[in-house]
């Protein structure tokens, strides 16, 4: 057997035992796996984390915590920029709308889901049947276990698994460093290596008003990894596209990605300019700006990947090989449908999709209305429509098992800045008009006789949805209240709801469902050839990855496997401590207290993607040796292909956290809690 690469974001119910044994001589035990599952945490705001004490302490990235930190800030109190440390447990700050999920079990329900989809059904019927049975499974599970229950689509439709999570709604901020320490190097260093970032934050989960007692947690390593160590990453990779067909990838390259990049750049320019107005605007815009810039850089890397002819050629070859194998086999069973059909079906679907993809994204996904207020308004309008229906027949986000999470967001008391909402809305309304043209009926309807700037102003001035009580009134008042509402944002959401739903329907019936059916067949072919040795694409569910701690070479220069705290000072000083390479005063003043040789960030080959931010990085003993926070730019093509030639994920070293907590932040209580030291 040849030594395989470290590729794979593995399912916890189908772990890579063989590979680990063969390549690393490591025995993956059930106990190890159970701890990995039950100590790993999903941040529903879009990241990962892990329990690191018996008293509910959780570590994640600062940039994953940013949304919560921002919502705990207000004019004159900028916790994002200034950082935060709870002196005592009583000082820990309850987050207004943060939900954490911890996976408890996984069950394969593929047979039950597929049994409801019959060959004689139209795509519309099949989509409805599938949605219904998934809803039923979730509802039954919720009733039976009380756990959050999600049916997850794997292998693009090749398998369906039921994931059950314990939920935490009472989550409190314990520690966050200054943004300039966490995000040292800003957009410049994002997706680069070597790095020097303290991209960590600590929360504590509470239950019934007391610190949670998780069944499992990761012990904090005092030494951390050295070069060539085997490490594991347990986190929630968001999306990969490795099992998509070439036709789908070319569609992404030529249609979806250019649209997405154009959209992100328009937001980045507008929000960036807003932030320049002064410190308060900057505070308000910080997380939006980081999110948009980060996405722009990630998608730019994806586009470079798909524009690389060698990657396209490799995909093409892979596909033709799989097809060849199958065609040979088919000669033995010539009555089966030609496997080539499944690929050409997906190709045809892209042509269909191209005809309304932008309208679907703008109206239904909501790219035309990049505004919290609009999102809230739409939920009030749709809840009034959906709640009277049986759960299984609703739009999927309004199913019973999701309502608690939805309402946490909807009724969040986090303040919204009117001026920022206006800028975001103006920018996205303008993007709508740019994309479809000023004379398009949808644009004319949305703009209602004004230009985007005036329309955004009118909408933000004409809504009362800043007030949580108003939101509750509308939701609790149901259809009557919504129909009677004169709120400008609600009126807009109502005005375009029929069109938006129509695009969603077309998407589900003409794209999603036929793609699932074709991919399910392709998955069968792949399973036949490779068994389960290919992991499914990422789905923002818990996965296990593994790799080797290792530096790499670029243009002849050898980059070390880790950087040091001293390196951060060197870089900052060489660049005159100027943004984005400025270190906080606390760091500059405290430099002499630090052991500057302490390892700071390190690189490994394990297979990660966006969503893995904040993932625990573990050693063989299952101790936490780092917190994953980024990939380098060579890793940006991982959406499509895995490589370990130069691609690395980057983590904060466990020792750097202890060193800075103790010597710069006087956070001795956390250090003690992590290390059990006295």
The verdict on 430 binding a copy of itself (CB under 8 A) reads yes
Handedness of CA 374, 372, 475, 464 (dihedral sign): negative
The verdict on 433 binding a copy of itself (CB under 8 A) reads yes
Q: Which one of residues 82, 187, 400, 509 is an interface residue with a copy of itself (CB under 8 A)?
A: 187
Q: Which is nearer to a copy of itself, 306 or 624 (CB)?
A: 306
Q: Quick one: which of 34, 26, 37, 31 has its CA closest to 234?
A: 37
The verdict on 450 binding a copy of itself (CB under 8 A) reads yes
Q: Which one of residues 46, 96, 186, 462 is an interface residue with a copy of itself (CB under 8 A)?
A: 186
Q: Which is nearer to a copy of itself, 435 or 517 (CB)?
A: 435
Assess contact for 549 and 617: CB atoms under 8 A.
Answer: no
Q: What are the angstrom distances between the C-alpha of 103 and each of 54, 166, 238, 396?
A: 17, 6, 16, 21
Q: How far is the CB of 453 from a copy of itself (least distance, A)?
A: 5
Q: How far is the CB of 296 from a copy of itself (least distance, A)?
A: 6
The verdict on 541 binding a copy of itself (CB under 8 A) reads no
Q: Which is nearer to a copy of itself, 376 or 492 (CB)?
A: 492
d(CA 237, CA 627): 14
Q: How far is the CB of 186 from a copy of itself (least distance, A)?
A: 7
The verdict on 575 binding a copy of itself (CB under 8 A) reads yes
Cα angle 640-641-645, degrees, rounded to a multiple of 5: 145
The verdict on 279 binding a copy of itself (CB under 8 A) reads yes
Cα angle 81-468-56, degrees, rounded to a multiple of 5: 55
Q: Which is nearer to a copy of itself, 330 or 450 (CB)?
A: 450
Q: Quick one: which of 88, 89, 95 has its CA closest to 68?
A: 95
d(CA 238, CA 540): 4
Q: How far is the CB of 81 from a copy of itself (least distance, A)?
A: 12
The verdict on 253 binding a copy of itself (CB under 8 A) reads yes
Q: How far is the CB of 394 from a copy of itself (least distance, A)?
A: 36
Find the binding residues for a copy of itself in span 292-331 (CB under 8 A): 296, 300, 303-309, 312
- Count interface residues toward a copy of itself (CB under 8 A): 51
Stretch that binds a copy of itself, among 209-217, 274-282, 381-389, 478-486 (CB under 8 A): 274-282
The verdict on 580 binding a copy of itself (CB under 8 A) reads yes
The verdict on 454 binding a copy of itself (CB under 8 A) reads yes
403, HSE (Cβ side, Cα atoms, 13 Å): 16
d(CA 261, CA 269): 12
Element counts in the chain: helices (H) and strands (E): 27, 21
Q: How far is the CB of 249 from a copy of itself (least distance, A)?
A: 10
521, HSE (Cβ side, Cα atoms, 13 Å): 18
The verdict on 226 binding a copy of itself (CB under 8 A) reads no
Instruction: Kindly write down the DSSP assignment for every residue of 417-449, as one continuous string.
Output: -HHHHHHHHHHHHHHHHHHH-TTSHHHHHHHTT
Assess contact for 656 and 198: CB atoms under 8 A.
Answer: yes
Ramachandran region, residue 147 (left: φ > 0; alpha: ψ -120 to 50; beta: rest): beta
Q: How far is the CB of 526 from a copy of itself (least distance, A)?
A: 26
Q: How far is the CB of 268 from a copy of itself (least distance, A)?
A: 6
From residue 373 to residue 412, what is the string marking binding to a copy of itself with x (rule CB under 8 A)?
----------------------------------------
Q: Which is nearer to a copy of itself, 277 or 389 (CB)?
A: 277
The verdict on 250 binding a copy of itself (CB under 8 A) reads yes
Q: Which one of residues 34, 227, 276, 324 is an interface residue with a copy of itself (CB under 8 A)?
A: 276
d(CA 595, CA 601): 15
The verdict on 269 binding a copy of itself (CB under 8 A) reads yes
Q: Which is nearer to a copy of itself, 82 or 434 (CB)?
A: 434
Q: How far is the CB of 492 from a copy of itself (least distance, A)?
A: 17
Q: Which one of residues 94, 355, 438, 676 is an interface residue with a copy of itself (CB under 8 A)?
A: 438
Residues in the chain: 678
Assess contact for 459 and 492: CB atoms under 8 A.
Answer: yes
d(CA 566, CA 550): 20
Residues 6+ apart with CB under 8 A from 441: none
Phi, psi (5° rounding) for residue 552? -160, 175
Stretch that binds a copy of itself, among 199-207, 326-334, 364-372, 429-437 (CB under 8 A): 429-437
Q: Which is nearer to a copy of itself, 151 or 447 (CB)?
A: 447
Q: What are the angstrom distances between the C-alpha of 293 and each of 71, 268, 480?
A: 20, 6, 41
Q: Is the peptide bond before 648 cis (omega within 30 degrees of 0)?
A: no
Q: Which is nearer to a copy of itself, 280 or 509 (CB)?
A: 280
Q: Which is nearer to a copy of itself, 337 or 449 (CB)?
A: 449
Assess contact for 656 and 224: CB atoms under 8 A.
Answer: no
* Pairing label, strands 93-94, 170-176: antiparallel
Task: Tell me the sheet residues that pair with 231.
Answer: 547
- Does residue 666 sit in helix, strand or coil? coil
Stretch that binds a copy of itself, among 125-133, 414-422, 430-438, 507-515 (CB under 8 A): 430-438
The verdict on 458 binding a copy of itself (CB under 8 A) reads no
Q: List residues near a copy of itself by CB under 8 A.
A: 186-188, 250, 253-254, 257-258, 261-262, 265-266, 268-269, 272-273, 276-279, 296, 300, 303-309, 312, 430, 433-435, 437-439, 447, 449-454, 574-576, 578-581
């Amino acid at each position: 057997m040849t030594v395989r690469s470290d590729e794979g974001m593995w399912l916890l119910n189908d772990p890579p035992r063989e590979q680990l044994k063969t390549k690393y001589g490591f025995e993956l035990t059930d106990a190890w796996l159970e701890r990995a599952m039950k100590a790993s945490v999903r941040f529903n705001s879009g990241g990962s984390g892990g329990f690191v004490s018996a008293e509910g302490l959780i570590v994640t990235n600062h940039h994953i915590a940013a949304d919560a930190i921002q919502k705990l800030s207000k004019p004159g109190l900028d916790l994002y920029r200034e950082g935060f440390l709870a002196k005592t447990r009583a000082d820990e700050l309850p987050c207004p709308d943060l939900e954490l999920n911890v996976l408890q079990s996984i069950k394969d329900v593929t047979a039950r889901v597929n049994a409801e989809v019959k060959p004689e059904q139209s795509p519309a019927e099949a989509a409805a049947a599938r949605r219904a049975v998934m809803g039923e499974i979730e509802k039954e599970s919720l009733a039976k276990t009380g756990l959050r229950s999600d049916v997850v689509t794997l292998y693009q439709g090749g398998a369906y698994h039921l994931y059950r999570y314990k939920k935490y709604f009472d989550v409190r901020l314990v520690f966050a460093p200054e943004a300039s320490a966490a995000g040292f190097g800003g957009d410049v260093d994002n997706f680069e290596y070597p790095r020097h970032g303290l991209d960590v934050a600590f929360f504590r989960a509470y239950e019934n008003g007391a610190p949670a007692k998780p069944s499992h947690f990761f012990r904090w390593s005092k030494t951390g990894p050295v070069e060539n160590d085997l490490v594991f990453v347990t986190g929630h990779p968001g999306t990969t596209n490795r099992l998509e067909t070439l036709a789908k990838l070319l569609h992404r390259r030529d249609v979806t990605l250019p649209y997405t990049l154009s959209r992100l750049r328009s937001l980045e320019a507008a929000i960036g300019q807003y932030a320049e107005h002064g410190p308060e605007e900057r505070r308000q815009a910080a997380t939006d700006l980081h999110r948009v810039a980060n996405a722009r850089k990630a998608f730019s890397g994806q586009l470079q990947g798909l524009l690389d002819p060698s990657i396209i050629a490799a995909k093409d070859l892979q596909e033709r090989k799989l097809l060849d194998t199958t065609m040979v086999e088919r000669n033995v069973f010539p009555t089966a449908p030609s496997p080539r059909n499944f690929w050409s079906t997906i190709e045809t679907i892209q042509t269909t999709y191209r005809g309304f993809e932008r309208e679907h994204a703008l109206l239904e996904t909501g790219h035309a209305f990049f505004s919290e207020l609009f999102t809230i308004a739409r939920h009030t309008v749709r809840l009034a429509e959906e709640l009277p229906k049986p759960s299984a027949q609703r739009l999927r986000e309004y199913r019973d098992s999701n309502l608690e999470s939805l309402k946490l967001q909807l009724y969040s008391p986090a303040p919204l800045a009117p001026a920022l909402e206006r800028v975001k809305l103006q920018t996205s309304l303008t993007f709508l008009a740019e994309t479809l043209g000023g004379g398009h009926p949808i644009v004319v309807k949305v703009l209602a006789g004004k230009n985007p700037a005036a329309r955004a102003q009118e909408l933000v001035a004409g809504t009362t949805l800043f007030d949580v009580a108003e939101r509750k009134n509308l939701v609790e008042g149901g259809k009557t209240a919504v129909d009677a509402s004169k709120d400008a944002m609600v009126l807009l959401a109502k005005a375009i709801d029929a069109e938006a739903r129509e695009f969603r329907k077309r998407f589900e019936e003409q794209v999603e469902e036929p793609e699932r059916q074709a991919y399910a067949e392709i998955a069968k072919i792949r399973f036949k050839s490779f068994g389960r040795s290919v992991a499914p694409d990422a789905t923002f569910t818990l996965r296990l990855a593994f790799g080797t701690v290792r530096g790499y070479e670029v243009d002849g220069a050898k980059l070390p496997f880790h950087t040091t705290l001293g390196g951060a000072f060197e870089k900052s000083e060489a660049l005159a401590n100027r943004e984005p390479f400025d270190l906080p005063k606390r760091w500059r003043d405290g430099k002499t207290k630090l052991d500057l040789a302490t390892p700071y960030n390190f690189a490994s080959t394990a297979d990660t993607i966006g969503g893995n931010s904040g993932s625990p990085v573990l050693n063989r003993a299952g101790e936490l040796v780092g917190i994953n926070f980024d990939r380098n730019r060579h890793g940006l093509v991982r959406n499509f292909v895995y490589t370990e030639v130069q691609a690395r994920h980057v983590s904060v070293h466990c020792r750097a956290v202890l060193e800075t907590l103790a010597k710069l932040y006087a956070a001795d209580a956390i250090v003690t809690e992590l290390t059990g030291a006295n």
